[in-house]
Amino acid sequence: MSSFERGILSEHDLKKTGNKVVYGIMVLFIALMVFSMLYPILMTMFNGLKSNQEVNSFPPHFFPKEWHFNNLKEGLNYIDLLMFLKNTFFIFVGNMVITLVVLGMSSFSISRMNVPGKKVFYFFFLMTLFIPAASYMIPNFVNLKELGLLNQYAAFWLPAGANTFYFLLLKNFFDGLHPEIFEAARIDGASEPRSFFTIAVPLSVPIFATLAIFIFSTAWNDWFWPSLVMHSEDKYTLATAIYKYVINVKALNNNIKFAILFMVSVPPILVFLLFQKFIMRGVSLSAVKG
């Protein structure tokens, strides 16, 4: 008897012709899906290692005829990736802290404290998910301008404290924690903030790790909002710098463009591969309960 867990189809099921056909179609679709995901990444990498003449040649070919690894060095010398990476990382850390403190404590209050009308607050936040993000982008910009926060990192941190999706994820995760733990802490004289930081936060590592991946992905990929609120080059995020100084520059050789794009695509892939187990675990633990 096999020591592996039984899957959807057993060895006996696979002996049937109909099941073999269905299983083969499933494998084919999975292979096509994997190919469609890996092809752009590999094409970017190989184009970044070709000569510029080879990149622009027709018909195109997948693998380089000659490997030009110095393209990576030229890409690093063309743009100060470390400075833009530092700005992006600074925004990510600030957004993560705001999410932990503001959204974490507010969702904990709605979930675990007897807040008057907390169901009204919950459904109000839930309704805001149906409002398109583009409809409140201009009001956010005007508010930040009136507050004098343009060209400041606070232009990212302040909106991070009003993310309804993250709030609902945290709230529903806290709903799943055993209330007896917090009742025992209250009997021992622990305040609500202390219960949150010493009990709720350590128990909520999966959901906060999941939110860290989401926040990192947003900070890494967003270029439009940073281009609106940041007006000095030394504060651009990596995505904004790539858009302005790489993609929109016609004088830059295409092979160097691909080399830069490949280098900036590697870190988020590594982050996802290292922490992917937290995504499904955190989302499933914080699923909306009926």
Which CATH number does the domain housing residue 87 bear? 1.10.3720.10
| Residue 6, pLDDT score | 53
Q: Is residue 68 part of a domain?
A: no
pLDDT in tens, 170-213: 888 888 888 888 888 888 888 888 888 888 888 888 888 888 88
Nearest to 196 by CA among 182, 175, 179: 182
CB 165 within 8 A of CB 286: no
Same domain? 26 vs 86 = no
Same domain? 111 vs 251 = yes
Query: Please, what is the end-to-end C-alpha distance for the chain in angstroms?
Result: 41
Same domain? 24 vs 159 = no
| Residue 116, pLDDT score | 80
Same domain? 37 vs 100 = no
Same domain? 103 vs 36 = no
Report whether pLDDT(228) > 90.
no
CB 260 within 8 A of CB 271: no
Two structure tokens written together for 274? 């290292």
pLDDT in tens, 120-176: 888 888 888 888 877 888 888 898 899 888 888 988 998 888 888 899 888 888 888
Helices (H) and strands (E) in the chain, counts: 16, 0
- Split at pLDDT 50, 70, 90, the class of 280 is low
Q: Is residue 4 part of a domain?
A: no
Q: Is residue 89 part of a domain?
A: yes
| Residue 290, pLDDT score | 39
Same domain? 116 vs 25 = no
pLDDT in tens, 45-101: 998 898 888 888 888 788 888 888 888 888 888 888 888 989 999 999 999 999 999
For residue 22, the enclosing domain spans 13-48
In this structure, which long-range contacts are made by residues 187-196, counting pairs with CB atoms below 8 Å and at least 24 apart in sequence? 192/108, 192/109, 192/112, 192/113, 193/105, 195/112, 196/104, 196/105, 196/108
**In angstroms, rounded to a whole number, what is the distance separating the alpha carbons of residues 245 and 263?**
15
Tokens 């998910």 found at? 129
Nearest to 214 by CA among 131, 260, 279: 279
Same domain? 17 vs 132 = no
- Number of separate domains in the chain: 2
Q: Is residue 69 part of a domain?
A: no
Same domain? 270 vs 209 = yes
Q: Is residue 104 part of a domain?
A: yes
Report whether pLDDT(33) > 90.
yes
Same domain? 44 vs 79 = no
Same domain? 21 vs 125 = no
Same domain? 23 vs 131 = no
Same domain? 178 vs 273 = yes
Q: Is residue 57 part of a domain?
A: no
Q: Is residue 119 part of a domain?
A: yes
Q: Read off the pTM.
A: 0.78
